[in-house]
């Protein structure tokens, strides 16, 4: 447990397993497509050299991993990990389609760096220290039962001087528009989401509950700094509905 919300691995896996088939559609519908814009902004915040290795944890159906791989034009090696089999299976299908398409247009498979998906718990990553140039997570850190453990693992597998990026929901502070959004997020979205997702685990009541309890802005930036990252800066997006955090791996957790 983290706060009052049940974030046990078993509950999280069951919940995402139940909604996996509708996850992408629900994301696009309930955010009116804004989630795509947020992931594109996240990709812009993490500049990568050709030949770099990037790990995207809690990758879900793989949209951020795929966006990095496509942005790298096949010159960046991308690995996506998640512990929900059903989500990862969809990521694998989307990944193979993207690789096939890129191979067809480049005419040679060897011209394309790999895009790989693996089943793994973010809190116990199966990689050696300093394996990646960048480690990212979108809307996943909040779901890990131990935020600091997940952040430390992300920092551990990142090379010193490498980049760690977190994209996560936050609550807008602006009075009028923020108030309208809070009404939508707390009252409308759980009902509409539940109606569309039709899952017994109430994923769309869990969403505002977990966001309400999760640190944002300076508080999350400070937590990142305690977990082996430095120069952490954050950029609120769309009135502060989501926030991008970016830090540099110091190579030694404080």
Ligand X SMILES: C[S@@+](CC[C@H](N)C(=O)[O-])C[C@H]1O[C@@H](n2cnc3c(N)ncnc32)[C@H](O)[C@@H]1O
Residues of the shown chain interacting with ligand X in the complex, contacts defined by CB under 6 A: 12, 16, 58-60, 63-64, 82-84, 87, 121-123, 138-140, 143-144
Of the pair 17, 251, the CB lying nearest ligand X is at 17
Chain residue at closest Cβ approach to ligand X = 60
Least distance in Å: CB of 11 to ligand X? Answer: 10
Is 218 buried (19+), middle (13-18) or exposed (0-12) by CB count in 10 A? exposed
CB under 8 A, 24+ apart: contacts of 13-18: 13/83, 13/84, 13/85, 14/201, 15/199, 15/201, 15/203, 15/206, 16/60, 16/84, 16/86, 16/87, 16/203, 17/84, 17/85, 17/86, 17/87, 18/197, 18/199, 18/200, 18/201, 18/203
Q: Provide, rounded to whole angstroms, the least separation between the CB of residue 111 and ligand X.
A: 27
- Cβ distance to ligand X smaller for residue 184 or 251: 184
For residue 46, what are the contacts with CB-CB under 8 A and spacing of at least 6? Answer: 54, 68, 134, 136, 163, 165, 246
Least distance between ligand X and beta carbon 140 (Å): 4
Question: Are the C-beta atoms of residues 154 and 124 closer than 8 Å to each other?
Answer: no
Least distance in angstroms from the C-beta of 15 to ligand X: 8
Q: Nearer to ligand X by C-beta: 97 or 218?
A: 97
Which is nearer to ligand X, 60 or 208 (by Cβ)?
60
> CB 118 → ligand X: shortest distance, Å?
10
Token pair for residue 150?
């997940």
Residue 209 vs 250, nearer CB to ligand X: 209
């Amino acid at each position: 447990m983290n706060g009052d919300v049940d974030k046990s691995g078993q509950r999280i896996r069951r919940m995402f397993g139940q909604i996996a088939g509708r996850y992408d559609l629900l994301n696009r519908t309930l955010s009116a497509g804004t989630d795509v814009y947020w992931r594109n902004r996240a990709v812009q915040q993490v500049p990568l050299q050709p030949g770099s290795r990037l790990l995207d944890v809690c990758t879900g159906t793989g949209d951020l991993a795929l966006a990095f791989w496509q942005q790298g034009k096949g010159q960046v090696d991308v690995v996506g990990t998640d512990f929900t089999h059903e989500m990862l299976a969809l990521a694998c299908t989307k990944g193979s389609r993207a690789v096939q398409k890129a191979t067809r247009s480049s005419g040679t498979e060897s011209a394309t760096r790999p895009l790989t998906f693996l089943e793994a718990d973010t809190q116990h990553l199966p990689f050696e220290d300093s394996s990646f140039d960048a480690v990212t997570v979108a809307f996943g850190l909040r779901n890990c039962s131990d935020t600091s453990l997940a952040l430390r693992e992300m920092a551990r597998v990142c090379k010193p001087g490498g980049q760690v990026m977190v994209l996560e929901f936050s609550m807008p502070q602006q009075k009028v528009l923020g108030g309208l959004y809070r009404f939508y997020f707390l009252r409308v979205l759980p009902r509409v989401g539940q109606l569309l997702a039709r899952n017994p685990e109430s994923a769309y009541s869990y969403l505002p509950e977990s966001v309400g309890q999760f640190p944002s802005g300076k508080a999350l930036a400070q937590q990142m700094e305690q977990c082996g990252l430095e120069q952490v800066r954050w950029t609120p997006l769309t009135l502060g509905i989501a926030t991008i955090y970016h830090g540099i791996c110091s190579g030694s957790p404080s």
